[in-house]
Amino acid sequence: MSGGVDSSVAALLLKEAGYEVMGVTMDLWREESREELARQGGCCGLSAVEDARRVAQILGIPHYVLNFRAAFREKVVDDFAAEYLRGRTPNPCIACNRHLKWGALLRRSVELGADYIATGHYAQVGRLANGRWAVRTATARAKDQSYVLYPLTQEQLSRTLLPLGGYTKEQVRALAAQASLPVARKPDSQDLCFVPDGDYAGFLAREVPEKLPGPGNFVNARGETLGRHKGIVHYTVGQGRGLGIALGRRVYVTRIRPETNEVVLGEDDETYAQTLDCDGLNFMGLADLARPRRLWAKVRYAHPGAWCTAVRDCQRSGLAASLTMFFCGPLQRTPRPQGRPGRTFAGRDVFFPTYTPPEKIFYAPFAPGGAKLCETF
């Protein structure tokens, strides 16, 4: 129970369904001010614990606060900093799900005598005809959070309940109000719980000042210097605004090179690729991918998706990848509608469903550390 409306209503629904429910709040991060967390609706600090405790009292269920601060710092915060220093833009919610909620918390919950772990994610879990478990999209597509659950193993999925998968946010808030839960109108968290002000570069400057690279050069694809940047952690691939350089035309970040402390800028047609290499596979609905398959690919949380052919252990141009996706058209690395095919890039936390009506999509076969693949069964 994070202290928000979603996890509170998840507990409410499970109790009404006849489950013996215990509320658990993860004590993860308490360095933010109480006022900041209350305003942001954060899920990591003191205000979250207090809200969860109040809800548990109203529901008449036991409530526990478990200290996972050391694990959170190691698996989420330190990884967040390390990824930025590598020139990547991480998704810490995925790391938190993998290592904390369905890692440390699930293990501790089993020790407390629980059979399942339940959260307020808008997604569904189903068992397929072949006996394997898979994540499924939520009914409310605008709130669907199945993307961030791609690392879950078969054992973890078999112990997972997601009561909100068939509800809209409006319905959830209405249920909370009907039950007189004090969090019924609590705002959703908009930023990372450990960076409530949204200033990631400022957070890194406080956390790892000795590792933070200083200013460097903006360059083009040919290596020609275009100007100076203020540090690679201030930029992300695809960024086209707030670059701090005027070239008389719109340019975008196409690559970040931590080894040379350079940020590569390019034109619109330099921001696309047609091939994606990834590894760190997590198989869900299939035990493995024995042959190439045509799949619907989602390369980031808000990406609408695109068709691709997925090939296992592809050898191409002397490079080996656990999985390679060949897209039918240019895959955008920026929120732009068109581009040029032919380039390759490596991804992290990408996701691939085969296209069918939304209610029939199971996020199944696997989720590479750069990709989540899904197919209908």
Compute the 3-state secondary structure of the chain and give helix, strand, coil in percent, each to the nearest 5: 30, 25, 45
- The vertex-368 CA angle with 107 and 104, nearest 5°, equals 10
Q: Provide the annotated active-site residues.
A: 96, 193
Q: How far apart are CA 341 and CA 324, in angstroms?
A: 15
Q: Residue 214, Cβ neighbours under 10 Å: how many?
A: 9
Partners of residue 312 on adjacent β-strands? 323
Token readout for 285 is 């609905």
- Which residue in the block uniquely carries the two structure tokens 């959703």? 188
What are 133's strand-pairing partners? 127
DSSP string, 217-236: EEE-TT--EEEEES-GGG--
Q: Where are the beta strands (DSSP E) in the chain?
A: 23-27, 63-67, 117-118, 124-127, 133-136, 160-161, 216-219, 225-229, 252-257, 262-266, 272-278, 293-297, 306-316, 319-332, 344-346, 362-363
Spacing of C-alpha 270 from chain mean position: 26
Contact of 135 with 284, CB cutoff 8 Å:
yes
| Side-chain half-sphere CA neighbours of 265 within 13 A | 23
CA-based nearest residue to 251, from 221, 213, 214: 221
